[in-house]
Amino acid sequence: MTLVEHDLVQNGEEFSTDWCNKSKSWFSERKHSGRDFSVTAAIDCLSRVQLRAVTLQLSNRRMGGLLEAEIRGLNEVNAALRTFLSEQHRITEVALDEKPHHKLL
């Protein structure tokens, strides 16, 4: 809802594909069944939120602060996803954008 409130997402399909890296119907299926984020969906969304926040922060400098509300919204979503991962899955740190150096056997 925070993404919608800040005009960062228009519908469930866009949220599913652009923010959670899932199929177009993923959000509606989750909503219909009453299920929440999976760990992978939450981490994918967190990654996209952080990338978008950095992008908007860079653009915000050039635009004289016009994107502050969107950046605050993304920061709210970032905090909510981290809380969800911590409370629901006991994941307190997420290493984003790091490529593994070695394959696990």
Q: Quick: pLDDT tens for 54-64.
A: 999 999 988 88
Q: What is the mean pLDDT of the chain?
A: 90
- What DSSP state is assigned to residue 10? -
- Which of the four pLDDT bands, split at 50, 70 and 90, describes residue 53? very high
φ and ψ of 32, to 5 deg: -60, -40
Do residues 28 and 74 make contact, with C-beta atoms less than 8 angstroms apart?
no
User: Which pTM was predicted?
Assistant: 0.84
Please give the single-letter amino acid code of residue 43: I
What does the pLDDT read at residue 5? 94
